[in-house]
A and B are shown apart, each in its own frame.
Chain A
């Protein structure tokens, strides 16, 4: 099968400064992939390169076998970081969503019948049908995320790119968004999202790429989420705790060495039922196991 995206030794960036160096990976049609890395690691640059907004200085990017050159061969739906959106811009939910079909809804300023019907279906599916006439500022974080997801879906994409969709939303909304993306992925849409939420990635996503200017590792979270890989990815000491099916990632606290010396070892010390609580030594953990869907 032809890869949906094929990065082959890509080096790219802005002006003379390389943000990504020698990046290679593949994403197959229908795959659900998480891209993790620290701020400034090149996650957004990678998404922009896929969209054809940045041209590689070296290497090549192919989409469905065609060289990405200004415009992508596959249809891409892009959901930006919420912080980059001008929330005071005078547009309603409906107007933003219709932008997803700007070039396919006739020559008149208003949308044609087919586009209207599709929009209604998408809005209903995402549970924001009643908000169509509302100004985008008058929405919660989760609803705002859904509006841009609806815009992406209206373009009937082969690939959904989401830049930090789980940032600045509460835990419940984050869970809803990830489940929604899993549903869309089941319909055959490939998904690539960037995130800092390592435990969410471990729980919900079947495939992860660890990025820090170059690809540090890629594979199933259970296979690549090791202290070594994550420490190299985030340039910080990270702890990975495996307990049965559970995979937990946490910052290494300053007093961890003392703690380790005075206990029989953390995984044995912390029993599964107590994982969602603070352990009393400043180590905050979130329990996660691989999502049932995968």
Chain B
């Protein structure tokens, strides 16, 4: 027990673990929509675009959150608009816009050499540097995200499931898409300090993918992904403290370990079901072999 409580004597750990848990939950929640929209690559790409914004705000001596926020939101809207062009496609649009933005950031850094330390923090996360004001930003973004997702739950579900048809039923698809782009950009900016540009995508995608293996219910999926994301943040921070490894990396590795366990159990269950069915029934009556653990 003493061992478990020991890290709590350090302020940096307290700040870090609160930030990591909140960021894990936030990314887990939004990640459900990202994964179901087949936009897993966007988390990766958008965080790189925001990196460009972070460098620009540093050079212009703007507040990081305002500069990176504006940049990220513009990049998200631009990606959405470009992705609608049939001959380009979402993946290519993300590839062009975000890598160009990232390259712009790197180019600026090469001109402003004294940014190198912050550059590393932005790339790989720096949980030790989380301040009280950072915590307020993360908490504020998390609360606003939950409120927004609560009130547009039905509209966002419809546009995620059937984006082409939703407008026919009166859903203001464009507004919902813009709101989601804003939420996603805000969440990525709030998470950047903890996860770093290179690892945010994993925090977005892995909890949602694990949860998808556990349930077929959309509302449960949101709950599970949020809980798994929070757990990975919490446990990853503890692990990071004891094994002295970068926090962003331990959080992602924790999530990857849970994914490996869950997918192994699901595959084994499916195999066992097939064998049982094969012994009792003729192959013509083989039902779906879905094996959701919690359903």
A residues whose Cβ falls under 8 Å from a Cβ of B: 14-15, 51-53, 70-72, 76, 78, 80, 85-86, 89-92, 95-96, 98-100, 102-105, 107, 109, 135, 137-138, 155
- Shortest distance in angstroms between B205's beta carbon and chain A's nearest beta carbon? 16
Partner of A80 from B87, B162, B212, B221 at Cβ < 8 Å: B162
User: Ordered nearest first, which 8 A-B pairs have the shortest CB separation?
Assistant: A109-B153, A103-B170, A51-B168, A135-B216, A102-B154, A99-B158, A90-B218, A78-B168
| A53 and B167 form a contact (CB under 8 A) | yes
A163 to chain B, nearest CB (A): 10
Q: Kindly list chain B residues whose C-beta atoms are within 8 Å of the C-beta of A137.
A: 216, 288, 290
A89 and B36 contact, CB distance less than 8 A: yes
Asked if B165 contacts A102 (CB within 8 A), the reply is no
Check A14/B217 contact, CB under 8 A, given A78-B165, A80-B165: no
Q: Which residues of chain B have C-beta atoms less than 8 A from A100's C-beta? A: 169
Residues of B within 8 A of A86 (CB): 161
Enumerate chain B residues within 8 angstroms of A85, measured Cβ to Cβ.
162
Residues of B close to A15: CB separation below 8 A: 86-87
CB contacts under 8 Å to A, within B41-86, are 86
- B244 in contact (CB, < 8 A): no
Contacts of B164 in A (CB 8 A): 53, 80
Asked if A90 meets B162 with Cβ closer than 8 Å, knowing A51-B168, A95-B157, A103-B171, the reply is: no
Q: For B158, list chain A residues within 8 Å (CB).
A: 99, 102
List A contacts of B215 (CB < 8 A): 90
Which residues of the other chain, A, contact B157 by a CB distance below 8 angstroms?
91, 95, 99
Give 24 A-B contacts (CB < 8 Å), ordered by A residue: A15-B87, A51-B167, A52-B167, A52-B168, A70-B167, A71-B167, A78-B165, A80-B164, A86-B161, A90-B36, A90-B221, A91-B157, A99-B158, A99-B161, A99-B169, A102-B154, A102-B169, A103-B155, A103-B171, A104-B170, A107-B151, A109-B154, A137-B216, A138-B288
Best-surrounded residue of B153, B168, B288 (most CB of chain A within 10 A)? B168
Contact status A53-B154, CB under 8 Å: no
Task: Judge whether B161 and A102 touch: CB under 8 Å.
Answer: no
- C-alpha gap A95/B155 in the complex (Å): 12
The answer for the CA separation of A100 and B166 in the assembled complex, in Å, is 9
Please name all residues of chain B whose beta carbon is closer than 8 Å to the beta carbon of A14 when the two chains form the complex.
86
Asked whether, in the complex, the Cβ of A76 is within 8 Å of the Cβ of B154, the reply is no
Q: Which residue of B lies closest to A70 (CB)?
A: B167
Check B150 for interface membership: any CB of A closer than 8 A.
Answer: yes
A72, A85, A90, A102: residue with the most chain B Cβ atoms closer than 10 Å: A90
**Can you name the residue of chain B whose Cβ is closest to the Cβ of A96?**
B161
Question: Closest residue of chain B to A105, judged by CB?
Answer: B154
CB contact under 8 A between A109 and B150, given known A15-B86, A90-B217, A135-B216? yes
Supposing A95-B218, A102-B154 touch, asked if A89 and B168 sit within 8 A by C-beta, the answer is: no
CB-nearest residue of chain B to A107:
B151
**B residues in contact with A71, CB < 8 Å:** 167, 170
Beyond A78-B169, A92-B216, A109-B150: 14 further Cβ-contacts under 8 Å?
A: A15-B86, A78-B168, A85-B162, A90-B212, A91-B157, A95-B218, A98-B154, A99-B157, A99-B158, A99-B162, A99-B166, A102-B169, A109-B153, A137-B216
Q: With the chains together, A24 CA to B221 CA distance in Å?
A: 47
User: What's the minimum C-beta distance from B260 to chain A, rounded to whole angstroms?
Assistant: 21
Q: B86, B150, B161, B169: which contacts A89 (Cβ < 8 A)?
A: B161
- Cβ of A80: which chain B residues have Cβ within 8 Å of it? 162, 164-165
CB distance from B219 to the nearest CB of A (A): 8
- The distance in angstroms between the C-alpha atoms of A240 and B191, with both chains bound, is 67
Docked pose: A102 CA to B36 CA in angstroms: 19
Chain A residues near B36 (CB, 8 Å)? 89-90
The distance in angstroms between the C-alpha atoms of A85 and B165, with both chains bound, is 11
Contact with A along B131-171 (1 / 0, CB 8 A): 00000000000000000001101110110011011111111
Alpha-carbon separation in the docked complex, A80 to B164 (Å): 10
CB neighbours of B288 from chain A (8 A): 137-138
In the bound complex, what is the Cα–Cα distance between A109 and B166 (angstroms)?
A: 16
Indicate the member of A15, A100, A102, A103 with the most B CB atoms within 10 Å: A102
Whether B218 and A103, one on each chain, are in contact in the complex, defined by CB atoms closer than 8 angstroms, is no
Quick one: which of B245-295 are within 8 Å of A by CB? 288, 290
Instruction: Tell which of B86, B171, B216, B290 touches A102, judged by Cβ atoms closer than 8 Å.
Output: B171
**Chain B min CB distance to A115 (Å):** 10
Min CB gap B174→A, angstroms = 10
Residues of A within 8 A of B167 (CB): 51-53, 70-71
Contact across chains for A92 and B150 when beta carbons are under 8 A apart:
no
- Min CB–CB distance A288 → chain B (angstroms): 32
**Shortest Cβ distance from A248 into chain B, in angstroms?**
34
Q: Least Cβ distance of B295 to chain A in Å?
A: 9
How far apart are the CA atoms of A98 and B218 in the complex, in Å?
14
The interface residues of chain B lying within 8 Å CB-to-CB of A135 are 216
- For the complex, give the distance between the alpha carbons of A98 and B162 in Å: 13
- A1 and B218 CA atoms in complex are apart in Å by 45
Bound together, the chains give a CA A91 to CA B151 distance in angstroms of 19
The minimal Cβ–Cβ distance linking A43 to chain B, given in whole angstroms, is 16
A77 to chain B, nearest CB (A): 8
Residues of A within 8 A of B86 (CB): 14-15
Measured between C-beta atoms, what is the minimum distance from B28 to chain A in Å?
15
Interface centre among A72, A104, A135 (most CB of B within 10 A): A135
